């Protein structure tokens, strides 16, 4: 009978190699991560005569979603939309208003923000997504509910309303699931932009605020 023995240096090397292998396996078990990227054309419309401020809080600018039934690490998907959200809204608002001004902080009585007519603060209140029932059909759906605050520079509310957006992968023949998820998110963002541009002046509180501004301007000119 023969016995094999491992020296102390060999045992340490074996332990180190095993630990590295385990870390690599654990890293490979994480969610599929998609950083949403796309193009967002500016709206074709006459800009409203307003100097609009915009403030994106940390949750919005860094927005991401995953399967809430699991932990962030255990989710099959981690989809980061924050960068694309900011890009889309910056492009849209710059085309909708005469001037768009990024705020230094959320409007409030003690904030030294720039002088603007109003400040828009968007939020993603809810997001749902549907995955394909068949693995070979890469059609994903994404539904988002936004909430918007329109505030004075002092933080007083002008209007508060919600809006939904929907995106669906338009083809089942993309090369990867990641590309399908990205495209569904981009379609949802474009839908959000179109809805906002169409309905902003139809929000009752916004319409009343614009009418008061117009009346005040007319009185000042008389």
- The Cα–Cα gap between 187 and 70 comes to 26
Residue range 48-221 in CATH 1.10.3720.10:
no
- C-alpha dist (Å) from residue 154 to 64, 84, 99, 110, 148: 30, 28, 19, 8, 17
Beta strand extents in the chain (DSSP E only): 32-35, 48-54, 64-66, 77-80, 97-102, 118-130, 141-151, 157-168
Return the top range by mean pLDDT from 13-17, 133-137, 187-191, 214-218: 187-191
The tally of CA atoms less than 13 A away on the side-chain side of residue 190 is 16
- The Cα–Cα gap between 112 and 58 comes to 19
Look at 3 and 38; give whichever has higher pLDDT: 38
- Give CA 162 to chain center in angstroms: 15
Angle, helix 177-199 to helix 82-96, in steps of 10 degrees: 30
Share of the chain above pLDDT 90, in %: 58
The tally of CA atoms less than 13 A away on the side-chain side of residue 94 is 11
**Domain boundaries of the chain, sorted by first residue:** 48-221
pLDDT band for 112, please (50, 70, 90 cuts): confident
Q: What is the pLDDT of residues 10-38, one digit of tens each?
A: 555 555 555 444 443 344 456 788 899 99
Judged against a pLDDT cut of 90, whether residue 195 lies above it is answered with yes
The per-residue pLDDT of the chain, averaged, comes to 84
Token pair listed for 125: 């209140």
Question: What's 46's DSSP letter?
Answer: P
The tally of CA atoms less than 13 A away on the side-chain side of residue 193 is 26
- The Cα–Cα gap between 159 and 206 comes to 6
Q: What is the pLDDT of residues 38-53, one digit of tens each?
A: 999 999 999 999 999 9
């Amino acid at each position: 009978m023969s016995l094999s023995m491992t020296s102390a240096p060999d045992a340490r090397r074996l332990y180190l190699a095993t630990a590295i292998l385990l870390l690599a396996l654990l890293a490979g078990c994480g969610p599929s991560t998609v950083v949403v990227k796309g193009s967002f054309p500016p709206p074709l419309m006459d800009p409203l005569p307003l100097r609009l401020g915009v403030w994106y809080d940390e949750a919005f600018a860094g927005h991401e979603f995953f399967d809430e039934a699991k932990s962030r690490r255990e989710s099959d998907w981690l989809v980061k939309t924050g960068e694309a959200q900011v890009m889309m809204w910056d492009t849209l608002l710059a085309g909708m208003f005469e001037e768009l001004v990024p705020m230094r902080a959320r409007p409030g009585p003690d904030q030294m923000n720039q002088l603007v007519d109003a400040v828009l603060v968007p939020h993603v209140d809810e997001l749902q997504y549907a995955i394909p029932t068949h693995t070979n059909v890469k059609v994903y759906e994404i539904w988002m509910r936004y909430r918007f605050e329109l505030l004075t520079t002092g933080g007083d509310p002008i209007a508060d309303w919600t809006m939904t957006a929907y995106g669906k992968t338009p083809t089942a023949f993309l090369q990867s699931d990641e590309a399908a998820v990205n495209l569904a998110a981009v379609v949802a963002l474009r839908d959000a932009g179109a809805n906002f541009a169409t309905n902003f002046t139809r929000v009752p509180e916004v319409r009343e605020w614009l009418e008061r501004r117009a009346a005040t301007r007319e009185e000042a000119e008389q």
